[in-house]
Structure 1
Amino acid sequence: MSETIITNPVIWADVPDPSVIRVGSVYYMVSTSMHTMPGCPIMKSVNLKDWEIVNYVFDTLEDNDAHNLSDGRGIYGKGSWAANLRHHDGTFYVCFSSLDMNRFYLYRTDDIENGKWERTVFEGVWHDPSLLFDEGRVYVIHGNGDIRITELTEDLTAVKPGGINGLLLIGEREGIGLRIEGCHAYRLNGWYYLFFIEWPKVGHKRRRQVCYRSRNLLGPFERRVVLDDDMGYRNRGVAQGGIVDTPEGEWFAVLFQDHGAVGRVPCVVPVRWEDGWPVFGEGGRAPRSFEAKLPEAPARPLVISDEFDYAENRLALNWQWNHNPDNRLWSVTERPGHLRLTAGHLASSFESARNTLTQRTEGPACSGRTVMECTHMKPGARAGLAALQHFYGTVGIHAEEDGVRYVAMCVRGGDGGDEIVEKIRYDGDRIHLKIDFDFRDEADIARFYYSDDGAGWRAIGRPLQLKYTLDHFMGCRIGLFHYATRETGGYVDFDYFRYSRG
């Protein structure tokens, strides 16, 4: 077996709450997607470092005013949380809870890369769940602090009547701020292992990985801190996730680390076993890089450039919409080689606008640019390029009542609406727009530019201090948008989206 060098983070972008399995020689991962659609991305790798998106679990989760972003609030920071991926008897399962719906969802397919997923819905939130298949029975282990176990029927469509359903264990309270959550459950070599994170208020005061083990499903459990390290980065603990083995019997943990405005980034940590306990890292530390007996593979981009040359009206998997899209109002085939966005809904601000098309941003630095034709915008319409987070920033065209157009840079104002930082009259029919992102050492700065020819760039507005907040609970995204503030109708055409990473 050849060896490869794994360097952390393996993805310097927002891929939170990773859940990884191996099937044969291939690894699959699912992660939290919240308010972006399609949701629950399925990623594939042969070496745990080079990942590509191959599918999504669902196109949309629910069809209601909040998920459609038509209620003025949306589901920012809600939607799908901490999805768990498992494979059993030829079927793939993904489960998660949604706080806004107060529901637990369980999806299944026999073709993880190409198949459609069937779902079962349970009422109530089963926080940070993990499926556990054990001797012909199946359980969901879930909760925060007080951890519960719920047995399902053999076909996983209902809570099993008369089955196990109750408190499994009580997490530590003394000196703990955030008690155990983020369960990943396994049965290995006669032991039951439950992995969690917790966030102590004492000691290093950072997120850390803990393991509970027992010879019996219902305990009693022994507890051990298996990793308390920040990889030398700002006291941000590397924690939350599960373990996975190689065909040759090596073990690794796939966890994540908070990295400021770019989001929560996945890291891989070697694992060995001593006296039935998993030992994470090297000398108690998560290594920045290490050798693994895994094959080399071509790197696949997580964020892509796109010329919008599509034979059918279906976007590359790298794109996700902010909330449910209105599919009547976008097209990559109506004008070949262009993304057309039609303003079909009134919005009070960029954050409340539908049909913003997004991708992740990446560290240590990245840049996205586009060219947009704006002659068919209606008065009051706004369109352009955005840094999407709660404290957002946009650069683009504002069409006014008198037919005059302006290029403007906006931020989120104190009232939640768009605050214009700078506005300049623009008489051209096409405009080039660019945002540069700098995430080095959490500088977390976005800078905004425009050009009439794509060569001579002019800064506009001011640099935006990006912030990771729980309002969106997501790393900053870059997006293409068009929305109406006065009358619907009209459209803009984006010729391309070009992306580079520094």
Structure 2
Amino acid sequence: MFSLLIALVLTAVMSEPVSAAPARQEAQVGLAHNPLIWADVPDIAIIRVGKTYYMSSTTMHMSPGLPIMKSTDLVNWRMASYAYDTLADNDALRLENGKNAYAAGSWAPSLRYHDGVFYASTFSYTSGRTHIFSTRDPERGPWKETSFEPVLHDHSLFFDDDGRVYMVYGGGRITLVELKSDLSGIKPGGVNKVLIENVNTIFGSDLGGLNGEGSHLSKINGRYYLFNIASPGSRWAPSVIVHRADTIDGPYEGRIALDDRGIAQGGLIDTPDGKWFAYLFKGNGAVGRIPYLVPVTWKDGWPVLGDNGKVPMTLDIPAGVQGVSGASGIVASDEFDRQPGDPALPLAWQWNHNPRPNDWSLTKRPGYLSLMTSRIVSTLPEATNTLTQRTFGPASSATTSIDVSGMKNGDVAGLTVFQKQYGFVGVRMTDGVRSLVMVSADSDKPEEIASIPLSGKTVHLKVESEFDPAPEVARFSYSLDGKSWTPIGRPSRLTYSYPTHFMGYRYGLFFYSTKTAGGRVDFDYYRIGPTGSSR
């Protein structure tokens, strides 16, 4: 998954932007459109239970993780829960001792529903284990975890009709392994068989490229269908590969199911009225890997994806409110006002790595998010308790207001658009003097582009991100009254960095100390919108 070849795949595929105009036009005529969600929701897995759909995706080093999203129309999604609060407790996930889990954490989930129980599984080279979480109520939980060694890469959890349970996994070589009935590990003496020695032989002699991975296994009308992503060596845009067999252990025969703009990796889903779709994603520059829904027809027992081999922008599904929120219900503004019984944080929020519980609060100053520091770091990527949400396209903005009266010398706080090559607008305190600063790391090292004295104790901050049309940039501004905005610094280039982060840009509220721990800042609100918007 993390090879130079895949880096080349992503670089090539992500160079082609999605046009914003067709999406807006199609939404007006009442039909859903691709991309399904213009935000980083990669490696998706979708199931249908009755008339309700559930979706999960990769969130890597973010906590909580293994998100569960819910929809009644396959188009408009809202957050339902997370399968875990923290994946594991180690130096990498705590951002300690010079270690981190950027581009790591948990990857490529699998979702299943069996005998009244929901299962969400993933794997992690950071924890060194394969993880399976289960619950009867995916919105309220609780989620029960079981985990085991070894790490089963890009697996698909599968319950067969005879009561046996399996995982199909691997990169290049795809293997079927039988699990114990309680899912606590690989079954001794159970099935353990290579199904496909090399997925890429589907391209003939043009080997190389992205080794086949991202397994999704389905059983439809008595046949087994295995989906993978792969690319040949001569061109880098990945394709959808499908194999089928009459028995779960094969033999499997395969073909290329879709080769269009690098839209790939996923599986099949049907609707209650008998329509079929493939759920896939496309690497789309700095915003990340964004989901597409592709119509499927059947011919001679094979799924046929797209219209004449192409992914249509318009879908034969009502749009509902698609596009109104920019990212369908998976991002959210927050005034930090909490009523009794409210969750501490809306599900749109995720911490960058494991949070330090004693270093944040919504009760120290009601109506505010308070961030404190308990250690010294030198740069933003080392900072704990950076609270993040996805950016979204084609353009979006995030604003906040911050009270910096509790800062200490060497403290830095503000609003960031975060990836390896990040940028931020914020406040830095040096020798008792507070300054508004704009910092850019778009040349791989953080550079203070602008600094303006700040006499007051509160300031409003804004980041505006433009993902289409190119070039992809973020612009920064500040306000002393929340109404009149002044640009600061210069536009910062937004670049999807692989393999060091392998995630779309995130908006983030942050606070870190470079000299003395123990300071505090209070964020009054967080508001998302299109560019040019303060709400």
TM-score (norm 1): 0.94
Q: 1:216 corresponds to which residue?
A: 247
Q: 1:44 corresponds to which residue?
A: 70
Please give the residue correspondences for 1:150-229 in structure 2 after superposition, counting only pairs within 5 Å.
Answer: 150-170=177-197, 171-173=199-201, 174-176=205-207, 177-202=209-234, 205-229=236-260
- Deviation string 1:45-88 (CA, Å, 9 cap, x unpaired) is 11111000010010100112210112333100100100110111
Is 1:283 the counterpart of 2:314? The answer is no
Kept after mapping to 1: 8 A contact 2:33/2:319: no
Is 1:129 the counterpart of 2:160? The answer is no
- Deviation string 1:433-466 (CA, Å, 9 cap, x unpaired) is 1111001134210011112222232222221111
- Cα deviation for residue 194 of structure 1 reads 0.3
Q: 1:234 corresponds to which residue?
A: none
| Range moving further from structure 2, 190-199 or 163-172 | 163-172
Kept after mapping to 2: 8 A contact 1:331/1:340: yes
Is 1:351 the counterpart of 2:381? The answer is yes
The 1:169–1:479 alpha-carbon spacing in structure 2 relative to 1, beyond 3 Å, is same
Kept after mapping to 1: 8 A contact 2:75/2:319: no
Given candidates 296, 319, 326, the residue that maps to 2:349 is 319
Q: 1:79 corresponds to which residue?
A: 105
Is 1:501 the counterpart of 2:526? The answer is no
Q: Please give the alpha-carbon distance, in whole angstroms, between the structure 2 residues aligned to 1:344 and 1:310.
A: 25
Is 1:457 the counterpart of 2:482? The answer is no
Kept after mapping to 2: 8 A contact 1:262/1:444: no
- Deviation string 1:318-372 (CA, Å, 9 cap, x unpaired) is 1111001111111122211111111222111001100000100010100111111
Given candidates 502, 520, 528, the residue that maps to 1:491 is 520
Q: 1:405 corresponds to which residue?
A: 434
Q: Which has the higher strand share?
A: 1
Is 1:306 the counterpart of 2:334? The answer is yes
Is 1:332 the counterpart of 2:381? The answer is no
Kept after mapping to 2: 8 A contact 1:391/1:467: yes
Q: Please give the alpha-carbon distance, in whole angstroms, between the structure 1 residues aligned to 2:409 and 2:451.
A: 16
Q: 1:64 corresponds to which residue?
A: 90
AA matched with 1:408: V
The alignment's C-alpha RMSD in Å is: 1.7
Kept after mapping to 1: 8 A contact 2:87/2:127: no
Q: Please give the alpha-carbon distance, in whole angstroms, between the structure 2 residues aligned to 1:71 and 1:386.
A: 24
- Cα deviation for residue 251 of structure 1 reads 0.8
3-state SS of paired residue (1:261): helix
The 1:295–1:111 alpha-carbon spacing in structure 2 relative to 1, beyond 3 Å, is farther
Given candidates 414, 438, 442, the residue that maps to 2:466 is 438
Q: 2:145 corresponds to which residue?
A: 119
Q: Please give the alpha-carbon distance, in whole angstroms, between the structure 1 residues aligned to 2:48 and 2:30.
A: 18
Given candidates 247, 255, 274, the residue that maps to 2:299 is 274
Q: 1:33 corresponds to which residue?
A: 59
Q: Please give the alpha-carbon distance, in whole angstroms, between the structure 1 residues aligned to 2:464 and 2:116.
A: 45
Q: 1:233 corresponds to which residue?
A: none
AA matched with 1:168: L
Q: Please give the alpha-carbon distance, in whole angstroms, between the structure 1 residues aligned to 2:470 and 2:63.
A: 27
Q: Please give the alpha-carbon distance, in whole angstroms, between the structure 1 residues aligned to 2:279 and 2:470.
A: 23
AA matched with 1:69: L
Q: Please give the alpha-carbon distance, in whole angstroms, between the structure 1 residues aligned to 2:319 and 2:461.
A: 40
Q: 2:285 corresponds to which residue?
A: 260
Kept after mapping to 1: 8 A contact 2:442/2:492: no
Kept after mapping to 2: 8 A contact 1:310/1:333: no
- Deviation string 1:452-498 (CA, Å, 9 cap, x unpaired) is 22223222222111111121110000000111111111211111111
Kept after mapping to 2: 8 A contact 1:313/1:333: no
Kept after mapping to 2: 8 A contact 1:313/1:331: no
Q: Please give the alpha-carbon distance, in whole angstroms, between the structure 2 residues aligned to 1:104 and 1:290.
A: 36
Kept after mapping to 2: 8 A contact 1:348/1:417: no
Is 1:426 the counterpart of 2:454? The answer is yes
Kept after mapping to 2: 8 A contact 1:47/1:297: no
Q: 1:245 corresponds to which residue?
A: 270
Q: Please give the alpha-carbon distance, in whole angstroms, between the structure 2 residues aligned to 1:351 and 1:88.
A: 40
AA matched with 2:299: E
Kept after mapping to 1: 8 A contact 2:423/2:442: no
Q: Please give the alpha-carbon distance, in whole angstroms, between the structure 2 residues aligned to 1:24 and 1:413.
A: 47
Kept after mapping to 1: 8 A contact 2:399/2:463: yes
- Cα deviation for residue 413 of structure 1 reads 7.8
Count of aligned pairs? 490
3-state SS of paired residue (2:363): coil
- Cα deviation for residue 297 of structure 1 reads 6.4
Q: Please give the alpha-carbon distance, in whole angstroms, between the structure 1 residues aligned to 2:442 and 2:299.
A: 55
- Cα deviation for residue 417 of structure 1 reads 5.7
Given candidates 156, 172, 178, the residue that maps to 1:145 is 172
TM-score (norm 2): 0.89
- Cα deviation for residue 411 of structure 1 reads 2.2
Q: Please give the alpha-carbon distance, in whole angstroms, between the structure 2 residues aligned to 1:25 and 1:4.
A: 21
The 1:228–1:413 alpha-carbon spacing in structure 2 relative to 1, beyond 3 Å, is closer
The 1:276–1:196 alpha-carbon spacing in structure 2 relative to 1, beyond 3 Å, is same
Q: Please give the alpha-carbon distance, in whole angstroms, between the structure 2 residues aligned to 1:181 and 1:248.
A: 31
- Cα deviation for residue 252 of structure 1 reads 0.8
3-state SS of paired residue (2:109): strand
Kept after mapping to 2: 8 A contact 1:321/1:355: yes
Q: Please give the alpha-carbon distance, in whole angstroms, between the structure 2 residues aligned to 1:61 and 1:259.
A: 27
Kept after mapping to 1: 8 A contact 2:95/2:384: yes
The 1:258–1:485 alpha-carbon spacing in structure 2 relative to 1, beyond 3 Å, is same
The 1:180–1:8 alpha-carbon spacing in structure 2 relative to 1, beyond 3 Å, is same
Residue segments in structure 2 that go unaligned for 5+ positions in a row: 1-28
